[in-house]
Structure 1
């Protein structure tokens, strides 16, 4: 770790104190892993091929050891700040459209999407001694919906071997970086755009490298298209109607002609739109997770906003990395907004 990374932060400020809340066996494992200073003024550890924080390592291990997938489960996955909040809302609305046909009492009007579709690593497997979860898995209404930022290789074995479905959404790495940096800057002071960008380019970010994260799910979606649906945020924004129908078909609950003619798809799109969701009290007030204000999950939802933050040299550097790392995969992103 370069000495300049410690210029503005003490050991205590770096939040490596997360280790104090970790079980002894897990702590010894973590201390044996490579670590680097990164986003959120904290250390990240290289675990199972990706960079994560100590508390998340324990959550992932607990998740891997204890989660039993059902064939009807649906898992929504992404890198952070890639559109997962929107995708959770859309998926929840699509699957539950027959239970909440009236939009007046729809759960999305009174609950944040992350409350309705809990994260494995942030909401479920978070107990330090891994004896229980904060979500009653056995009594969840089926199909159960879950969210995660965990890379595909680190998913629980039962998810990979069951017939449950996975929907993955990725986003232009330029916008992903700016959105994630802005998010982290709201919950952790003294974030440096330039220093964090250098770490991002090296892959040192939450569940990074971002290229390996995306490619892991992409390759599986190609090998098992009935198991994993791979989406791009930009494509979803461009034609949300088409992709909402595509998601419904993938989940084996396609819209009927009657539903289409009655405007059910349009109602779901409007309900889950950024404009609607951002203005709801359920997303404007209160906190979520580690006392993170809900309003922080709704920033701009724009494509190309990175041009207002990144210098030409930064754009050139990240462009080369994207071209190199994604070469031959068939996955590409526009550099010009």
Structure 2
């Protein structure tokens, strides 16, 4: 986190003039003051507000702090490579099921899930869900990788009380998924070796990490405010998707009716949003929604337990030790196989 001297410098510079150029100078001053490490898919990661972030996103995260949440907003919060694409597809389909038939006219058939559920820092320019609408009664669905402590104040406000859905994936599979994605799918940098990436991960140097702080932040809030923070586990969702989709729908305020259950609508949505189905759609085979990543990069395996094909016993022992030291005593446990 930036020190007091840096904050004073930035405040002084900002007070000198209101010109946009000086805002850029303040941003540059902030970046220069932060601890930095080699990045996974960018040249550097910077420790900003207690989490690691590429410099290109810091300005957007700062701007996102001004986001004004509403009571009916639903925020999907996910550690990178922990099921973001899947959760976006499921939440969008559940929320909008009255308007689209899963197998016929769902927007997922022609749009990547990331194009349907915007990231928080993109909300100002996103119009498909009318996130800037004055209609206070609409339900807005958006997503973020931010740790809980760094969320905009309005999202955390007890007075506003919007809902947060957090999807947690076991750290072993999260690492393997991230290594494949950030070091092989990116076209911007030379790929990191498995050993180098693993060392960084165990030291907490991972986008929006350390992973243990990210998970525990939402875990604690879900324990204290279960009516406002739903904590889902990737492995549970894989093992019993129907049960946890029903939990998700109820939490979002749009529970499935008995008629919908009897008609098999939950199963239809589950099939539509499965990684195997999404991977085979033309829209996800070509093109790019994000500048440096092809759409197909978001659909690899999605399996539970794939880590056993990559991690050595020594690596497993080291990650076990990290989890024990950082997360013991909080009651959060992980399934590493099904």
Q: Tell me the TM-score normalised to structure 1 length.
A: 0.87
2:225 aligns with 224
Asked if structure 1 preserves the Cα contact closer than 8 Å seen for 2:44 and 2:54, the reply is: yes
Cα offset, 1:23, TM superposition = 1.8
SS at match of 2:192: coil
Establish whether residue 109 from structure 1 lines up as the match of residue 109 from structure 2.
yes
Is the contact made by 1:112 and 1:282 (CA closer than 8 Å) also made in structure 2? Answer: yes
Deviation string, structure 1 residues 280-315 (Cα, Å, up to 9, x no partner): 011111101224200000000111111111111111
Q: Deviations over 1:220-271 (max 9, x none)?
A: 1111111110011001101000000000111121111111111111111111
3-state DSSP of counterpart to 1:23? helix
Residues 75-98 of structure 1: per-residue CA shift (max 9 Å, x gap): 101111101111111111111111
Is 1:201 paired with 2:202? yes
Matched, 1:151 2:143: no
Name the Cα RMSD after superposition: 1.8
1:1-337 alignment to 2 at 5 Å? 23-64=24-65, 66-101=66-101, 103-121=103-121, 123-124=122-123, 133-135=125-127, 137-139=131-133, 142-161=138-157, 162-185=160-183, 186-187=185-186, 188-335=189-336
Q: Which consecutive residues of structure 1, in runs of 5 or more, have no partner in the other structure?
A: 1-21, 125-131
Displacement of 1:334 in angstroms is: 3.8
Q: Structure 1 CA distance, aligned partners of 2:149 and 2:321?
A: 26
Secondary structure (helix, strand or coil) at the match of 1:104 reads coil
Aligned partners of 1:137, 1:255: CA distance in 2, in Å? 25
- Worse-superposed segment, 178-187 or 140-149: 140-149
SS in 2 for 1:205: coil
Runs (4 or more) in structure 1 with deviation over 2 Å come to: 132-137, 139-142, 334-337
* Residues 102 and 61 of structure 1: CA distance in aligned 2, closer, same or farther (over 3 Å): closer
